[in-house]
Structure 1
Amino acid sequence: MTGWTADHIPDQRGRVAVVTGANSGLGLVTATELARRGARVVLAVRDTAAGEQAARGIAGDVEVRELDLADLAAVRAFAAKLSADHPAIDLLVNNAGVVLLGPRRVSADGFELHLATNMLGHFALTGLLLDALTAAGPARVVSLSSITHKTARLDFGDLMGERGYRATAAYGRSKLATTIFGIELDRRLRAAGSSVVSVLAHPGLTRTNLTPRAWEHRGRFGRLIARLGLLATQPVERGALPQLRAATEPGVPGGRFFGPARLGETRGRVTEARLSRRAADPAAGKRLWAAAEDLTGVRYL
């Protein structure tokens, strides 16, 4: 299999990169490769013990900081301290995410937990770090989408999924919201004449620890489903390539979307992925942006 690989990553020395959810899975691979190429990498993680353990396995300049994306007060505190310590940030990879099965759960702020973690927390974090990103010059924001965004629908009258909740649908909605956010961010950055670029990526079907954890509460049946799911997935090192390309390829224009090329974008070499019609809709972007501002209290662009 040919195509773009981690060996194509250019020299990252002198760059500061922030990767959310960097203690495992796609985030750990992304942080490891960025550090290997010389970047100073901030591992933004909810569990700092797991983050420190991950950092010990990374050869390079890394630091671990606590970030709970499902708690807006924690997001604000993280962003304030990070901006003070790193007034110029070259790369923000909005990688962290949750996949939950079972009953509906809410965040510290009362938001449906998929939406809170996967999209609203990253919306707030990006806005709070925008000055530091702008100070770095041609900085980049990478938002992690999913192929599930293609079949998902947003109900702006019920963003929190209080009516007829289904966990799998809630996850898809959160990833559609993340994708809409990344594209709308690109529109607004361009309109403002900003040097910051917003791009997106998705990993196809990749073996991470999210799905097995999501099925844990289902006992033996759940573990069987998780094992069967692993057979259809690609290794995490390959699944991370779309976001690494989005993060590091020189000259990538805003709005570009990377993903696997084969079998319905589930695996294979990195190529340009296809946005769903709903994700590309400017009206949906404007509406979601307004809702996110109201929910998070973070306003920018």
Structure 2
Amino acid sequence: MSSSLSGRTVLVTGATSGIGHQTARLLAERGATVLLHGRTAEEAHAAVDRLVTLSDVPAERLCAHGADFSRLKEVEQLAARVMTEHPRLDVLVNNAGMAPPEQHTVTADGNEIAFQVNFLAHYLLTRLLEPALTSDSGGRVVNVSSALHRTGSIQWNDPNRTRRYSRLATYAQFQLALTVFAADPRITAVSIHPGICATGLLPLYAHEGVDPAQGAAHVVRLCDSAVEIVGGAYYDCDQRVAPRPSATDGRTVKRLTRLADLLVGHSA
């Protein structure tokens, strides 16, 4: 694995804790240059310092980037920095996530906060980074999704759930959106349920979870250019399985694209 990851540049969102942090560690240990994203630059730099201190990862293979995904302007600024500093990006791991709050909360951009942080921000970031991701063969996107996408439904006429808000329904909706987005033909992307891990999102699943490093290992495998992937594929840990049928439906993909472009203010 090390030889095929060596020299690759990977951006991992939400890399300051949990699965994202362990994904960054494993990638760097296998020779990749890793861009660690955190909500703030300070949090990202602290994550880099932890990796350098607690592992054998050389500091020159780690780069810290801060962006608050509840502010789409910061997502645009992150994409601009990455494009300038790393014009060739081999892999984007869309991992950053938050649990939906108890009360319906709207960002300054007008979107329900969990839907924006977990899906819309990743959608916008991916769209803006497309030139870097598609400039070389093997460029790919890995969306960290969930098996709960199977229970989700996208409220097309009320995606921000202003009329009927539910934490679990909101969570399932953005996980479904991430899974559908992986089937967008403009990018080579897959989505993955990394298992039930002991992270901040665990209460939405169960009382116990495995070490985040176990989930991260499944994500890292899909970052490896030696592992052939098919756009739109969905993985449950290390097994490719069929996602919810609507997740790969061409009409659903186009409909989600139109909705997301509208909500993030991005032109196709």
Deviation of 1:159 (Å): 0.5
Whether 1:271 and 2:239 are equivalent positions in the alignment is: yes
Q: Does 1:151 align with 2:151?
A: yes
- Which residue in the other structure is 1:292 paired with? 260
Using the size of structure 2 for normalisation, the TM-score is 0.91
1: CA distance between counterparts of 2:32 and 2:156? 39
Q: Is 2:18 aligned against 1:25?
A: yes
Q: For structure 1, which segment, 57-66 or 156-165, has the greater mean C-alpha deviation from structure 2 after superposition?
A: 57-66
1:146 Cα deviation (Å)? 0.6
Task: Give 1:199's aligned residue.
Answer: 190
Paired residues of 1:182 and 1:198 also in contact (CA < 8 A): yes
Work out the CA distance in 1 between the residues paired with 2:211 and 2:3.
23
Distance in 2, matches of 1:298 and 1:44, equals 22
Contact 2:2 2:31 in 1 (8 A): no
Q: Which blocks of at least 5 consecutive residues in structure 2 are unaligned? A: 52-56
Q: Report what 1:243 is aligned to.
A: 219
Query: In structure 1, what residue type is equivalent to 2:8?
Result: R
Cα shift readout 1:122-167 (whole Å, capped 9, x = no counterpart): 1110011111112233211111111110011112011010112111
Partner in structure 1 of residue 40 of structure 2: 47
Amino acid at match of 1:127: R
| C-alpha RMSD over aligned residues | 1.8
CA distance in 1, matches of 2:138, 2:215: 26
- Following TM superposition, by how much is the alpha carbon of 1:249 offset from its aligned partner in structure 2, in angstroms? 5.1
Q: Which amino acid aligns with 2:189?
A: S
Could you report, residue by residue, the CA deviation over 1:164-221 in whole angstroms, capped at 9, with x for unpaired residues? 21111111111111111111x2x334xxxxxxx2111112211112346x8xxxxxxx
Q: Assess if the C-alpha contact under 8 Å between 2:11 and 2:92 holds in 1.
A: yes
Q: Is the 8 A contact 1:243 1:258 kept in 2?
A: no
Secondary structure (helix, strand or coil) at the match of 2:37 reads: strand
CA–CA separation in structure 1 for the residues paired with 2:81 and 2:225: 29
Q: Judge conservation of contact 1:200–1:243 (CA < 8 Å) in 2.
A: no
1:188 to 186, 189, 204: 186
The alpha-carbon deviation at position 10 of structure 1 amounts to 4.4
Is 1:210 aligned to residue 201 of structure 2?
yes
User: What secondary structure sits across from 1:129 in the alignment?
Assistant: helix
For the residue of structure 2 that corresponds to 1:238, the secondary structure is: helix
**Equivalent pair of 1:10/1:248 in contact (CA under 8 Å):** no
Q: Percent identity?
A: 33
Query: Does the 8 Å contact 2:232/2:248 carry over to 1?
Result: no
Q: Note the alpha carbon deviations across 1:85-126, whole angstroms, 9 max, x for none.
A: 111111100010111241111122010111101111011100
**Paired residues, what number?**
260
SS in 2 for 1:283: helix
Tell me the CA shift for residue 282 of structure 1: 1.8
Cα distance in 2 between the residues matched to 1:10 and 1:104: 46
Normalised TM-score (structure 1): 0.81
Residues in 2 aligned to 1:54 and 1:77: alpha-carbon distance in whole angstroms = 20
Distance in 2, matches of 1:91 and 1:255, equals 15
Q: Paired residue for 1:177?
A: 177
Q: Is the contact made by 2:193 and 2:235 (CA closer than 8 Å) also made in structure 1?
A: yes
State which of 192, 210, 221 in structure 2 corresponds to 1:234. 210
Of stretches 25-34 and 65-74 in structure 1, the one that deviates more from structure 2 is: 65-74
Question: What secondary structure, in the 3-state scheme, does the structure 2 residue paired with 1:288 have?
Answer: helix
The question of whether the paired residues in 2 share the 8 Å contact of 1:127 and 1:299 is answered with no
- 1:63 counterpart residue number: 63
CA deviations on 1:14-70 (whole Å, 9 max, x unpaired) are 211100000100100111011111111101110333322221232131011112222
Whether the 8 Å contact between 2:178 and 2:191 is mirrored in structure 1 is no
CA distance in 1 between counterparts of 2:24 and 2:79 reads 19
Q: Does 1:98 align with 2:91?
A: no
Separation in 2, partners of 1:256, 1:173: 18
Q: Are residues 155 and 100 of structure 1, via their aligned partners in 2, closer, same or farther at CA, if it must alter by over 3 Å?
A: closer
